[in-house]
């Protein structure tokens, strides 16, 4: 028996369609609001300086990096990296993305528990995602149910990582809204709507990732469980 069967498509086609829908939503929302300037005409880099100063995060470095939507906060070096379009553009989308990443910097400073949990899971999730397929395949070839279940466990770690990521991202978006409002960087209802649209679309990517991880885990759990039933 191979790793995949017709049932695999039944599990993963919904996840694939959800992922496509999410990518379209994020891309279209970002494209729309990246064309709308914010009232203060602040670029992402300029907004970052104000937000970091307001949050007392003076030790966080700000760097520009290539790519589109590659923005991230690195807690290891306390570095906020903004993609060139965000860093250089005075758009509403730039404010939303910048504030979201600074939300992660605030989580890091405060020792936000879900962020610490996600960080602790990174090594295991990275290794597990690479080994899971191999362990299950080798377990099937060697008729080793224990090895196959170890592969399923590796998939479970990936699903746990996706689950731990969701509250981290939602909380960062919540912090972003408060930051932009309290600092006066968004001044109108239209700007608030734009920021909310960008943040909501981005957050849904993590919902889609969690759904895909759970469906994949369910498929392989059922497959390996079926192997055990046939052996008895």
pLDDT at 231: 55
pLDDT at 154: 93
pLDDT at 35: 97
Say if 211 falls within a structural domain.
yes
Say if 145 falls within a structural domain.
yes
DSSP structure string for the chain = --S--HHHHHHHHHHHHHHHHHHHHHHHHHHHHTTSB-TT---HHHHHHHHHHHTT-TT-EEEEESSSS--EEETTTTEEEEEHHHHH--BHHHHHHHHHHHHHHHHHHHT-HHHHHHHHHHHHHHHHHHHHHHHHHHHHHTT-HHHHHHHHHHHHHHHHHHHHHHHHHHHHHHHHHHHHHHTTS--SHHHHHHHHHHHHHHHHHHHHHHHHHHHHHHHHHHHHHHHHHHH-
CB proximity list for 58: less than 8 A, separation 6 or greater: 52
Say if 187 falls within a structural domain.
yes
Domain containing 33: what range?
6-231
Catalytic residue among 46, 49, 63, 101: 101
pLDDT at 129: 81
| Residue 183: Cβ-neighbour burial (10 angstroms; 0-12, 13-18, 19+) | middle
pLDDT at 2: 53
pLDDT at 53: 96
CA separation for the pair 103, 199 (Å, rounded):
12
Say if 161 falls within a structural domain.
yes
Is 101 an active-site residue?
A: yes
CA separation for the pair 138, 131 (Å, rounded):
10
Say if 95 falls within a structural domain.
yes
Would you write out the chain's pLDDT as a tens digit for each of its 232 residues? 456 666 778 888 888 899 999 999 999 999 999 999 999 999 999 999 999 999 999 999 999 999 988 999 999 999 999 999 999 999 999 999 999 999 999 999 999 999 999 999 999 998 888 888 899 889 888 888 899 999 999 999 999 999 999 999 999 999 999 999 999 999 999 999 999 999 999 999 999 999 999 999 999 898 888 775 555 5
pTM, to two decimals: 0.89
CB proximity list for 159: less than 8 A, separation 6 or greater: 210, 213, 214, 216, 217
Number of domains comprising the chain: 1
Say if 32 falls within a structural domain.
yes
Say if 194 falls within a structural domain.
yes
Say if 1 falls within a structural domain.
no
């Amino acid at each position: 028996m191979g790793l995949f069967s017709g049932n695999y498509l039944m599990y993963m086609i919904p996840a694939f369609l959800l992922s496509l829908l999410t990518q379209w939503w994020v891309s279209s929302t970002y494209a729309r609001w990246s064309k709308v300037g914010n009232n203060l005409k602040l670029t992402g880099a300029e907004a970052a300086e104000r937000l970091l100063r307001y949050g007392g995060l003076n030790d966080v470095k700000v760097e520009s990096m290539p790519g589109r939507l590659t923005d991230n906060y690195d807690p290891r070096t306390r570095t906020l990296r903004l993609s060139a379009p965000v860093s250089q553009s005075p758009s509403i989308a730039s404010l939303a993305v910048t504030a979201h990443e600074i939300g992660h910097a605030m989580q890091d400073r405060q020792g936000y528990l879900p962020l610490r949990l996600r960080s602790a899971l990174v090594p295991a999730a990275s290794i597990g995602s690479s080994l899971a397929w191999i362990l299950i395949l080798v377990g099937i070839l060697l008729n080793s149910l224990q090895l196959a279940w170890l592969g399923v466990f590796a998939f479970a770690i990936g699903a746990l990582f996706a689950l731990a990521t969701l509250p981290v991202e939602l909380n960062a978006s919540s912090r972003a809204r408060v930051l932009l409002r309290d600092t006066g960087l968004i001044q109108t209802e239209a700007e608030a709507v734009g920021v909310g649209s960008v943040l909501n679309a981005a957050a849904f990517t993590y919902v889609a990732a969690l759904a895909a991880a759970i469906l994949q885990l369910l498929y392989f759990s059922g497959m390996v469980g079926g192997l055990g039933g046939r052996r008895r």
